[in-house]
Chains A and B, each alone.
Chain A
């Protein structure tokens, strides 16, 4: 966890006061809705189908127990008792009254949470690996760099009115859990052949109506140049990004139109003019930020505690959960536990106030008071002693947070869709719910292995359908909801966009089509451990096409 210092607290308090004043001006009529819109967006307030929605940042996915309790308080006091975790390490509340918004953000500020820049054409919440700091394959904690960037991008005087929103993600592992290649800027911290740690810089990835995988514009960036280089990218984008058409305004279009090489040249030229200026990072500045991260005081434990082994042998349900939802920790005797927010029949990513409070409590008891939020819309307890796993599992099971479907077909990423969102053309949540029923038999889901299903209710692609192994995109055709299916997308280090299966199918056929795709996979896979995505890469899309369109 990063702990705010005096400066961070002062700035946030001043921002809360400014927002209170802006809301007051709107409520008094001094500001029209049109004038107020960009101001509220700078603080994560959207006008949705039914009410105002507030999006709160969970920077790089780290939450303390106190912060989680505050989210529960917001859900209960100002909303309808639940919140929705998004794919970008934010939480959304869908029913907050505008007049309450200033009090909500003031309450949040007491635990160092905020909604700054969670919308608007500015640098959004900086996201990272939900296993940052605990993953055994990472070279160092990427959250330190994410925090440096969070601060640098907050109320930036030059980059608050960019052509379009701007999303940055950072990972420090070879295995990318932060989907950096589908961000405006993706940063991968790694060690080069000389053993020096630095960043690979990927630019121009993104989904939406024109999806692109990002391109590497700098294979190795020294740490001292981290801020100056990102400043140079943003400056080039701010000046040359398209502003004539909202659908062509993201940096991915600029990179595509100029070509990655030419874009890189522009950035290099700009960067050379500023790289020895004030933004050259003094190691002492980085060390100062790092020093404000609090790390657990781990106990000396051995792997495979007897209590764990015993429980694994005696309880099949526990063993199943252990195999599915628990991952290796870099410290011996500890484990990383994923809490599935995808119970059968539930809207993906939703948590009730009671669940949030219980999770806060469990995190305090078993995970040094720390919780993480991942882009798959699940939560993580990052520091659980292995001998505590049986007890923790019983508690999670009672709360409905131990569905052992992490990474399986029913662990669906979905946007809010037509049930909440004013942009949506089609429903997402009911499709997800239906699929969790179809694959509610976890034995069957397990037999299918790792299989990511992503659902978006419109072309803006908030459910990241392009990068789902199976992607489902809802569109409207002649007043009806129909769904396009893509296969073979992925958001990890081998990121690629899915391929269209064929003509769109009506709402009531989607679940059947997914069942057909799964049946085709089971028939053609070479071995039981050949994953869906690997089978598809081997045999191509044809067998799936034939199966689906022959039947329907």
Chain B
């Protein structure tokens, strides 16, 4: 499956470990929420990075106490129509100031890349090759956003306030008349 991180195709260094399998000591691993919550102390002694797959029907507040020992949070889109993980992502970034890798998994498609990135995701397990190839183009599609979110784009209302964008002459005429 194509994997994108920080805007580029790359290899996923995390190993998914099933709940009944042993956790390799020196490898980055991705484990389930249940396992994380069952053995948090054990995991914090690890010297390699740990990541968790957090389901979209579980409150992010429950994950918050563990964030400082996590290098990766993988959120889940069972179908792209199920948008719960967008809220979870923004909460992680904006409320809990999580700075580690935030990965979109599941039904991750081209037409969601912009929304996902704006919600704070920086890593993507993409379903289709062609979609992964279109990643950069999909993000470049819009030069204007209307709302603040978890990314660093300045929303239109703030740019207007700062006057930081050249108004076209027609608009100026309208504003004056």
For residue B114, CB closer than 8 A to chain A, the reply is yes
Contact residues in A for B161 (Cβ distance below 8 Å): 282, 284-285, 288
* Structural contact, A30 and B115, CB atoms closer than 8 A: no
Task: Give the contacting residue for A10; candidates B88, B114, B143, B147; CB below 8 A.
Answer: B143
Contact residues in A for B40 (Cβ distance below 8 Å): none
1/0 per residue B130-158: CB within 8 Å of A? 10000000000111111111110001111
Report the bound CA distance from A151 to B144 in whole Å: 11
Contact residues in B for A22 (Cβ distance below 8 Å): 111
What's the least CB distance linking B104 to chain A, in Å?
A: 12
Report the bound CA distance from A155 to B119 in whole Å: 12
For residue B82, CB closer than 8 A to chain A, the reply is yes
* Structural contact, A157 and B141, CB atoms closer than 8 A: no
For residue A294, CB closer than 8 A to chain B, the reply is yes
Given A157-B114, A235-B87, A288-B161, A279-B148 contact (CB < 8 Å): yes
* Structural contact, B81 and A6, CB atoms closer than 8 A: no
For residue A77, CB closer than 8 A to chain B, the reply is no
Given A7-B159, A157-B149, A158-B149, A14-B86 contact (CB < 8 Å): no
Report the bound CA distance from A14 to B90 in whole Å: 25
* Structural contact, A238 and B141, CB atoms closer than 8 A: no
Contact residues in A for B86 (Cβ distance below 8 Å): 157-161, 238
Report the bound CA distance from A252 to B159 in whole Å: 36
Report the bound CA distance from A219 to B86 in whole Å: 29
1/0 per residue B115-136: CB within 8 Å of A? 1101100000000001000000
1/0 per residue A109-132: CB within 8 Å of B? 000000000000100000000000
Report the bound CA distance from A493 to B105 in whole Å: 46
Contact residues in B for A154 (Cβ distance below 8 Å): 146
B-side interface size class:
35 or more
For residue A51, CB closer than 8 A to chain B, the reply is no
Contact residues in B for A519 (Cβ distance below 8 Å): none
* Structural contact, B157 and A160, CB atoms closer than 8 A: no
Contact residues in A for B109 (Cβ distance below 8 Å): 35
For residue A243, CB closer than 8 A to chain B, the reply is yes
For residue A49, CB closer than 8 A to chain B, the reply is no
For residue A307, CB closer than 8 A to chain B, the reply is no
For residue B95, CB closer than 8 A to chain A, the reply is yes
Report the bound CA distance from A22 to B166 in whole Å: 30
* Structural contact, B81 and A38, CB atoms closer than 8 A: yes
* Structural contact, B157 and A158, CB atoms closer than 8 A: no
Contact residues in A for B147 (Cβ distance below 8 Å): 151-152, 156-157
Closest to A157 in B: B118
For residue A550, CB closer than 8 A to chain B, the reply is no
1/0 per residue A279-319: CB within 8 Å of B? 10010110010011010000000000000000000000000
* Structural contact, A278 and B148, CB atoms closer than 8 A: yes
For residue B14, CB closer than 8 A to chain A, the reply is no
Given A7-B160, A284-B161, A155-B83 contact (CB < 8 Å): no
For residue A273, CB closer than 8 A to chain B, the reply is yes
Report the bound CA distance from A30 to B175 in whole Å: 45
For residue A399, CB closer than 8 A to chain B, the reply is no
Closest to B165 in A: A6
For residue A258, CB closer than 8 A to chain B, the reply is no
What's the least CB distance linking B140 to chain A, in Å?
A: 10
Task: Give the contacting residue for B142; candidates A11, A35, A239, A284; CB below 8 A.
Answer: A11
Closest to A7 in B: B156
Interface residues of A in 138-169 (CB under 8 A from B): 151-152, 154-162
Report the bound CA distance from A239 to B83 in whole Å: 8
For residue A17, CB closer than 8 A to chain B, the reply is yes
* Structural contact, A238 and B84, CB atoms closer than 8 A: yes
Task: Give the contacting residue for B175; candidates A15, A161, A279, A292; CB below 8 A.
Answer: A292
Report the bound CA distance from A278 to B118 in whole Å: 15
Report the bound CA distance from A282 to B158 in whole Å: 10
For residue A3, CB closer than 8 A to chain B, the reply is yes
Q: Give 20 CB contacts A-B under 8 Å.
A: A5-B167, A6-B167, A6-B168, A7-B165, A8-B144, A15-B142, A18-B141, A22-B111, A151-B147, A152-B147, A155-B146, A156-B146, A158-B83, A158-B115, A160-B83, A160-B115, A161-B86, A285-B160, A288-B157, A292-B175
Q: Which residues of A contact B (CB under 8 A)?
A: 3-8, 10-11, 14-15, 17-18, 22, 30, 35, 38-39, 121, 151-152, 154-162, 235, 238-239, 243, 273, 277-279, 282, 284-285, 288, 291-292, 294
Q: Which residues of B contact A (CB under 8 A)?
A: 80-84, 86-88, 90, 94-95, 109, 111, 114-116, 118-119, 130, 141-151, 155-161, 165-168, 171, 174-175
Can you list the 8 inter-chain pairs with the closest CB atoms, starting with the nearest?
Answer: A161-B83, A157-B118, A7-B156, A278-B148, A11-B144, A151-B146, A158-B86, A157-B115
